[in-house]
């Protein structure tokens, strides 16, 4: 655990530095400071989408900004994860990792619903398998579900076959419970490697990291989590929080504080889109 925490901290610093570098960059995507990384994938062919559980929200285009439309099989292999989204106006994205957890995720969903806001949930396959009803609720309420691997391993310690299994099984359970293949993935601990980027692209997913880490897993107190979000708020920012993996009651409470504040400040809280025009 200690090593993972160090790793997380290192990634926080790296992500912060890259985000600072990229802050002035115009364009649809902002990547970590690798100038050789592809910035705009070729416009995609019609997306392969087989909705199994259509809902009112999901039949409409999702509002929001993100990578250009791409299709599975044509997703670019990146060398860095995306760190933020950009677009017109004060757009921000809230993401919740490691769930769903029936102790915390319903409260988070309630708050999002109270404010009519959509968010992203990077779920673990084993949690999704145990709580398919929560993924169905996410679908019904218009939230985006991403792939956070099956069992939350450190991918950089695994061989390619294991990484593939971790990612593929999670895509399958998400499709079953949420209704679509995920279009986004996030490596546990923010520890990416080449195999993860390649396999993610093969599975039609874009790698999304974050701009602001609330470090809520250290239980710093709801007020501190709130302050971190409010201090980090800026157009294009992607916020990392957790709805599972420990006692997340602080994360639940903090959301109730910072969400109305962000909305009062004029932020449009949304989810990135890929396949909708």
Q: What is the distance between the alpha carbons of residues 194 and 203, in angstroms, rounded to a whole number? A: 14
Instruction: Name the pairing type of β-strands 238-242 and 144-147.
Output: unpaired
Of 217 and 267, CB closest to Zn ion: 217
Cβ at position 148, least distance to Zn ion in Å: 6
The DSSP secondary structure of 171-233, one letter per residue, reads HHHHHHHHSS--SEE--GGG---HHHHHHHHHTT-EEB--SEE--GGG---HHHHHHHHHHH-
Residue of 143, 242, 268, 275 marked active site: 242
Q: By CB under 5 A, is residue 98 in contact with Zn ion? A: yes
CB of 87 closer than 8 Å to CB of 28:
yes
78-97 residues in contact with Zn ion (CB under 5 A) are 97
Residue 97 appears among annotated catalytic residues:
yes
Residue of 97, 98, 101, 180 marked active site: 97
Of 96 and 197, CB closest to Zn ion: 96
Q: What is the distance between the alpha carbons of residues 50 and 164, in angstroms, rounded to a whole number? A: 22
Q: By CB under 5 A, is residue 216 in contact with Zn ion? A: no
Of 4 and 133, CB closest to Zn ion: 4
Cβ at position 123, least distance to Zn ion in Å: 10
183-202 residues in contact with Zn ion (CB under 5 A) are 188
Cβ at position 186, least distance to Zn ion in Å: 7
- Of all residues in this chain, which one has the CB nearest to Zn ion in the complex? 97
Of 206 and 267, CB closest to Zn ion: 206
How many residues bind Zn ion (CB under 5 A)? The answer is 3
Cβ at position 276, least distance to Zn ion in Å: 27
Taking CA atoms, 108 is separated from 72, 79, 119, 247, in Å, by 30, 32, 10, 14
Where on the phi/psi map is residue 41: left (φ > 0), alpha (ψ -120 to 50), or beta?
beta
Question: What amino acid positions are annotated as catalytic residues?
Answer: 97, 242
Q: Which residues sit at the interface with Zn ion, rule CB under 5 A?
A: 97-98, 188
């Amino acid at each position: 655990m200690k090593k993972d925490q160090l790793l997380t901290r290192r990634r926080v610093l790296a992500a912060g530095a890259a985000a600072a570098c990229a802050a002035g960059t115009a364009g649809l995507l902002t990547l970590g400071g690798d100038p050789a990384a592809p910035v705009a994938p070729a416009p995609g062919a019609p997306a392969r989408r087989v909705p199994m559980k259509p809902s009112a929200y999901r039949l409409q285009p999702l509002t929001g900004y993100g990578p250009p439309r791409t299709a599975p099989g044509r997703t670019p292999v990146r060398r860095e994860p995306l760190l933020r989204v950009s677009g017109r106006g004060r757009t921000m994205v809230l993401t919740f990792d490691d769930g769903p957890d029936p102790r915390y995720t319903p409260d988070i969903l309630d708050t999002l619903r109270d404010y009519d806001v959509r968010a992203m949930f990077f779920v673990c396959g084993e949690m999704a398998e145990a709580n398919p009803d929560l993924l169905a609720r996410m679908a019904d309420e218009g939230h985006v579900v991403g792939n956070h691997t099956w069992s939350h391993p450190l991918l950089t310690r695994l061989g390619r076959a294991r990484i593939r299994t971790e990612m593929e099984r999670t895509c399958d359970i998400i499709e079953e419970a949420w209704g679509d293949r995920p279009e986004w993935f996030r490596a546990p601990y923010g520890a990416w490697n080449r195999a993860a980027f390649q396999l993610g692209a093969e599975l039609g997913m874009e790698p999304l990291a974050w701009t602001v880490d609330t470090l809520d897993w250290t239980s710093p107190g709801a007020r501190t989590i709130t302050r971190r979000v409010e201090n980090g708020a800026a157009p294009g920012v992607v916020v990392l929080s957790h709805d599972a993996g420990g006692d997340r009651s602080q994360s639940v409470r903090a959301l109730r504080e910072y969400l109305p504040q962000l909305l009062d400040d004029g932020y449009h809280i949304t989810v990135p889109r890929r396949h909708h025009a």
